[in-house]
Amino acid sequence: MNVTFELPPPVVERLRFHIPSGERSRFVADLISRTLRKKGSTLAQAAQKANSLRALNRDMKDWEALNQYED
């Protein structure tokens, strides 16, 4: 998949200075990939922690029971 976006000029200048021409796209794609994996991992951990809270689980069951009548 190809995605096009703009970067601020100072970032572009740093990329051009530090990353060789044929490697820039892969470098940016790797950075985005790592960031998304990290955020996904953080969100998954937060969800697991939230799911382990007894009070929250009780409230969610009550909420789901109320929603059964809307179908």
pLDDT tens per residue across all 71 residues of the chain: 788 889 999 999 999 999 999 999 999 999 988 888 888 888 888 888 877 777 777 777 777 777 777 65
Domain extent for 45: 24-70
47 located within any domain: yes
Please calculate the CA angle 64-41-34 and round it to the nearest 5 degrees.
145
User: What are 31's two structure tokens?
Assistant: 């950075």
Give how many domains the chain has, as a whole number.
1
62 located within any domain: yes
What lies within 8 Å, CB to CB, of 51 at 6+ separation is 57
